[in-house]
Each structure stands twice: as C-alpha cells, then as structure tokens.
Amino acid sequence: MTANSTYSFFNDVGSFVDKAARFTKHPKGLIEQIKQCNSIYHVTFPLRLQKGKFKVIEGYRVQHSHHKSPVKGGIRYSSGVNEDEVKALAALMSYKCALVNVPFGGAKGGVRVEPSEYTVDQLERITRRFTSELIKRNFIGPAVDVPAPDYGTGPREMAWIADTYMTFNSEQVNALGCVTGKPLTQHGIRGRKEATGRGVFFGLREAVDSYEDMQKLGLHPGLGDKTVIIQGLGNVGYYTGINLQKQGSTIIGIAEYNGGIYNEDGLDIEEVHQHRMDTGSILDFPGAKTIKNGQDLLEYACDILVPAALENQITTKNATKIQAKIIGEAANGPITADAEKILLKRGVFIIPDLYLNAGGVTVSYFEWLKNISRVSFGKINKKYNELNNQLMVDAIEDASDTNLPYKQRMQLIKGAGEYELVDSGLEGVMVGAYHEINEIRKKDNVDDLRTAAFINSINKIAVSYLELGVFP
C-alpha cells in the first residue's frame, strides 16, 4: 500500500473496468456484478513458537467470480497482505483468465507473514494449517478453487498444500489437481517455473514487432536494439531478462528492494544471478554502478521498463519522471490508475499486467489438465511423432541424394516432449491474445491496451453470466 491510507487497489481495478465498460452495451447492474467479489474468507490461527510463545497468523482467500469453475489464483506470503490487496488480485485473475481464454474464475489468497522471519518448519506448519482452514470452508479443491504460487511462495509450499489436501481427501482420484505450481516430482509440469517470464517475453516481442506503434515512439520494430530496465530479479524478472537478452536486448539496469545496479553497456543476467547467489545481493556487481535506492532506477532512460516486483510502484509521485518509452507490467498492478493517466498523456506505451503476466495461469491450466487427465503431455505420441519425422527425413535425404548433418537430422526427428508442448501452447496463447486486444483497440478507437484488454474480458464474462443463466 502507499502512504495514502485512502488508496484502494481494488477500487483501482474497478476504475479500469468502469472505463472499459463505457465501450460496451452491457447493463450497469451486470457490470457492477462483474466487479464484485463473490466470496471472501478471512481466517486467523495460532502458531506455536519456541519457548511456549504463540503468534496469531492472519490469512485470506477471495473468490472473485464464479462465472467459470473452478476459480484460480495464487497464494502470496507477505507482511503487506491485506483484504483490499487480495480482493484486487482476485479480480485481476478473473479478467486475466477471460482474456486468454483459460476457463477459470478468478481467486487469490494471502497469508500475512514475512517468510524470512520464519524457519522452514514454521512455514510448513503455517501452510498446512492455512490449507486445512481452506478445506474446512470448501475454499480449495480441483473442481472448486485451485491455488498456485505467488510472491513469497513457490513449489515447496504448493507441495505442502497438495499433501495436506490429499490427506483430507484420500479417496479423490484427482486430488493432485487441487493446486498448481508443484515440483515435478509431485506431478507438476515442465515449463511452469519459467512460464510467467516466458509469457512476458512473448508479449513484449509481439508488441515491439508493430511498425506502426514503434514508429510513434521513435523506435525500430523488434527487440534487438532495445535497452531494458527490470525491477525485481525474482522468478519473473529473471526469466524475462534471460529471454530478452537472448533476443539481443540490452539489460542496462536491475532494481531490487535493497538497491539496484546500472551499466549502460549491459548487464549479464546469469552473471548477476550468480553474484546474488554468492553474496546474497545484486549490489556491488563488478562493472556496474550501485544505486542506493532501487526505486530511482525506474526513472532512468530506457526503451522498455519491466516492473516485475509488487503493485503500486509507479504512482503520481514518480509518473512524470518516468523516461521509458514502453512499460511492460510483469507484476500485478505496478501502475496506479491515476499514474497511468499521466503516462498515457506523455505518450508512454503500456502493456498491461492483465495480459502480460498471464503466462503463469496459462501453464497452471496445462498442469491442472495434466493432473485431472492423469497423463503427461507428449507421453502417448512422442515416439510415434519421432518415427514419422524419421521417415520424412529419410525420404528427403533419398530424394536429394544428400545426408543432413547429424545434429540437424536429430533436431528434425525429435518429437515434442512436455516442455516443448507447454512452451508452444503458451506462445500460441500469448500471441493470439495480444492480437485480439490490439484489434479491439483499433476497432473501438480506445487510447490504450489496458482498456482494450478489459473490454475483451468484460464481454467474455458477461456472456457467461447471461447465456449460462448465472442470474436467478
């Protein structure tokens, strides 16, 4: 939250919906229903600490929309978790899933803890107790509500959740579908860890390939000559940076909560990551200038700024100082509604979170499908495809009377495994969704991609409410 105690992240999301709704013909009452959270669960429970002391742990699970079942959304662990934040994130999940045609309603969860202040044993007990509370209120289940990792959580926590759920529901054959983002050893899916960052990359790639949009910004199409500043070198920021770097983009700045680093000649993401593994921080990276306040890096000149940390990073206080020509929202809600108005007036091209960070939920959907179908992607047809590919390559070599180099031959023969199929599916979803919202932007003559994305989502959710008879 910002210093302004009256600020509401949830109301900010609602204001984006209101802006987009003006371009639709849906009744006002229907729009109001779409905006509201259907179910809110607030729970407290005690945690036994050392020497007989106790601490009260507070958690939330919000189900925003039941227009599709199950609902879907991550669980975050942060000292800043509050009801307004979780409601806003749950709402964004509804619109995000609708936008990329993933058949889930939106949900979100949060536990108000700072993970670094607790032992692994304590975090496990917190996770298992929170899961049991969700089970008691029917707020988790493969056909009801499917959590996933978020800020402060990861595969480890998802494995604890899955194990706890299966303990309570040992007779359910699809119990593993109760949560996604699990480790591979616990029936997770290949490509989930990279998914959000890969999705951000695919979205940025599509956006900067538009000659018309880049011409307005004074830029050339393509990622090859772009300078990039990334805020947050967590999972999303890391994989976004790695993929942009492979396409020729120059990462000139990386900001973290405790400071940042800058080098106009470029930073190697892998080397920075290794430096942090060795020292515990990205600061004092060899050859880079250390920036005391990482937030200041958001105001440095660059072609693309990627906020990949938390919400409310660009507000009315710093919006006028932003020099980036493109902002790719890899985090949820990094730009406030009032700040966006300032940025749009200044001609900044914003690729909204609603679309750009949808890679995580897309691959979570693939994992859920894998769990309820109980078969891995590619398991049945990989060898069959390899045999067909080999016959084709043999025919080409016979017809041309030449032998392909061994490496090239093996690449052509290789059948798609789980990772290749997941990544291909993710790319298809992100590419298709971008052109869908870009077409709406042009057809409805709206100023920005966010409004176009919300128009798209509202229309799809409204159809579910009206045509599927959700209203009594």
Which 3 state secondary structure label does DSSP give 162?
helix
pLDDT at 381: 74
Phi, psi of 24 (to 5 degrees): -115, 175
Is the pLDDT score of 301 beyond 80?
yes
Say if 39-188 and 194-356 have the same CATH topology. yes
Q: What is the mean pLDDT of the chain?
A: 93
- The tokens for 389 are 């590919």
What b-and-e string marks burial along 82-112, b requiring 16 or more CB atoms within 10 Å of the CB?
eeebbbbbbbbbbbbbbbbebebbbbbbbbb
For the chain, count helices (H), then strands (E).
16, 12
Is the pLDDT score of 1 beyond 50?
no
Angle at 15 between CA 61 and CA 444, to 5 degrees: 120
* Contact between residue 187 and residue 154 where contact means Cβ atoms under 8 Å apart: no
- The radius of gyration of the chain's CA atoms, rounded to the nearest angstrom, is 23
- The tokens for 106 are 């939106």
Specify the CATH number for 194-356; select among 1.20.200.10, 3.40.50.720, 3.30.420.40, 3.40.50.1370.
Answer: 3.40.50.720
Catalytic residue among 35, 68, 87, 108: 108
Which 3 state secondary structure label does DSSP give 22?
coil
pLDDT digits 0-9 by tens, 10-35: 999 999 999 999 999 999 999 999 99
By C-alpha distance, which of 216, 282, 237 is closest to 448?
Answer: 216
The domain spans of the chain are: 39-188, 194-356
In the chain, the percentage of residues whose pLDDT exceeds 70 is: 98
DSSP per residue over 126-159, as a string?
A: HHHHHHHHHHHTT--BTTTEEEEE-TT--HHHHH
pLDDT at 417: 84
pLDDT at 5: 58
Quick one: average pLDDT of 73-87? 96
pLDDT digits 0-9 by tens, 453-468: 999 999 999 998 877 6
d(CA 164, CA 170) in angstroms, rounded, equals 10
Poorest-pLDDT segment among 46-50, 161-165, 427-431: 46-50
pLDDT digits 0-9 by tens, 312-369: 899 999 999 999 999 999 999 999 999 999 999 999 999 999 999 999 999 999 999 9
How sure is the predictor about 52, in pLDDT bands with cuts at 50, 70 and 90? confident
Q: Please confirm whether the linkage preceding 70 is cis (ω < 30° from 0).
A: yes
By C-alpha distance, which of 324, 326, 329, 325 is closest to 353?
Answer: 329
End-to-end CA distance of the chain: 37
Q: List residues bridging with 42 in a β-sheet.
A: 60
pLDDT at 3: 45
Whole-prediction pTM value? 0.90
What b-and-e string marks burial along 184-218, b requiring 16 or more CB atoms within 10 Å of the CB?
eeebbbbbbbbbbbbbbbbbbbbbbeeeebbeeee
d(CA 391, CA 128) in angstroms, rounded, equals 52
Quick one: average pLDDT of 251-261? 95
Distances (CA, A) of 466 to 28, 155, 187: 13, 37, 37
Phi, psi of 225 (to 5 degrees): -110, 20
- Does 108 qualify as catalytic in the annotation? yes
pLDDT at 2: 42
Quick one: average pLDDT of 380-390? 77
By C-alpha distance, which of 470, 437, 441 is closest to 98?
Answer: 437
Residue 292: is it exposed, middle or buried by C-beta count within 10 angstroms (0-12/13-18/19+)? exposed
By C-alpha distance, which of 381, 365, 382, 385 is closest to 373?
Answer: 365
By C-alpha distance, which of 203, 168, 162, 36 is closest to 105?
Answer: 36
Residue carrying structure tokens 């390899």:
386
pLDDT at 471: 57
Q: List residues bridging with 39 in a β-sheet.
A: 63
By C-alpha distance, which of 45, 43, 44, 47 is closest to 124?
Answer: 47
Q: List residues bridging with 43 in a β-sheet.
A: 59
Q: List residues bridging with 148 in a β-sheet.
A: 74
By C-alpha distance, which of 45, 180, 61 is closest to 126?
Answer: 45
318, amino acid identity? N
As its CATH architecture, domain 39-188 has 3-Layer(aba) Sandwich (3.40)
Query: How big is the chain, counted in residues?
Result: 472
> Element (H or E) spanning 310, and its range?
none
Quick one: average pLDDT of 103-108? 97
By C-alpha distance, which of 296, 253, 258, 307 is closest to 279?
Answer: 258
Read off the DSSP letter of residue 240. Answer: H
